Structure 1
Amino acid sequence: MDVNRTSRRSIPFEFACAGWNGRKAVERKWKRNWEGAMLTGGCLCGKIRYEISGEAIGNTVCHCADCRRASGAPLVGWMSVARAAFRFVAGAPKTYASSAQVERSFCSDCGTPLIYRNAAFADEVDVATGTLDNPDEAPPEHHTWTSQQLEWIRLADGLPRYPRGYPET
């Protein structure tokens, strides 16, 4: 899958903070044979379950204030996938608009943040990496929105860092 979306560079942070990578999935440092692979995940209480079929568009760790507030965590891992490759198989999340272009979905019973959708990229969904049954299957490729990173966070993983979204101009 070739993704060429240089226009995302100019989108305000509240519209672009989650997991866009902008490279072919085969160019990543780690490789996985996605042919026939299925990733699964869900919320803490187990009422909501999902499946992902197909390859990731990209994986990031977001440090923006919106993701922090929505998750209650100091940073959030996101795995971006084609919307057609994602489906809920049990339960239905509650969805709210966190800005004019962004919707976030979570379990209304346990509160687990599950997905992020941006109207500017309607064919994609960003899945909270920590909700995967095996988050090690989707390691991050970089850090985004480090301009909003908490002062006490010290990154030592050697991954590229971007003050805003990826790719930077």
Structure 2
Amino acid sequence: MTTGRCLCGSVQYRVTGPLRDVINCHCWRCRRHTGHFLAATQCMLDDLHFDSMEWLRWYSPDGEVGYGFCEECGSTLFWRCGERADKISIAAGTIDTPTGLTTQASIWTLDASDYHAIDRSIPSHPFGTDGSLDSL
């Protein structure tokens, strides 16, 4: 079982199923939401359980994409897309270590900020993908 939490511990979660390896998303939305890029894993929504979620809030700028964060400390925690309603992405840095995960790819690299050098040792996609990187 995998566990994780926000910085202050007000939102704590457990994942009872498998996690996809990490994908680094450099799209403009993830950059604005996290301040850099979003390194995220993914699980089936039914496998995510909360031990504490009083401070979990969601921001959905367009009703299609949603960002979950802790209202108390501001930690970025989750990302959801209406097209993949049965899955949820989890900010990899919120998972308790050791995670057992590796980084499998970078996406939306054309949107990466000019100060950031993309890691070319892993597969890189200039745009998003068709879901082919989702191994769940």
Is TM more than 0.5 here? yes
Cα contact 2:42–2:87 (8 A) shared by 1: yes
Q: Which sits farther off after the overlay, 131-140 or 118-127?
A: 131-140
The aligned counterpart of 1:118 is: 81
Structure 1's 57 and 156: CA in aligned 2 closer, same or farther, altered over 3 A? Answer: closer
What value does the CA root-mean-square deviation take over the aligned residues?
Answer: 1.9
Q: Deviations over 1:140-160 (max 9, x none)?
A: 100000010112212345000
Cα contact 2:109–2:118 (8 A) shared by 1: no
Shift of residue 54 of structure 1?
Answer: 1.2
Report the structure, 1 or 2, having the larger helix content. Answer: 1
**Map of 1:89-168 to 2, 5 A cutoff?**
89-92=51-54, 93-134=56-97, 136-156=99-119, 158-167=121-130
2:42 is aligned, of 61, 80, 104, to 80
Shift of residue 103 of structure 1?
Answer: 1.1
Cα contact 1:42–1:50 (8 A) shared by 2: yes
Report the identity percentage. 28
TM normalised by structure 2 equals: 0.87
Question: Residue type of the partner of 2:60?
Answer: A
Larger Rg, first or second structure (1 or 2): 1
What SS class does the counterpart of residue 32 from structure 2 fall into? helix
Report the structure, 1 or 2, having the larger strand content. Answer: 2
The aligned counterpart of 1:63 is: 26
What SS class does the counterpart of residue 161 from structure 1 fall into? coil
Question: Residue type of the partner of 2:101?
Answer: A
Could you tell me how far apart the structure 1 residues matched to 2:15 and 2:29 are? Answer: 25
Q: Which sits farther off after the overlay, 83-92 or 132-141?
A: 132-141
Aligned pairs, how many? 131
Unpaired runs of 5+ residues, structure 1, are 1-37
TM normalised by structure 1 equals: 0.71
Shift of residue 166 of structure 1?
Answer: 2.5
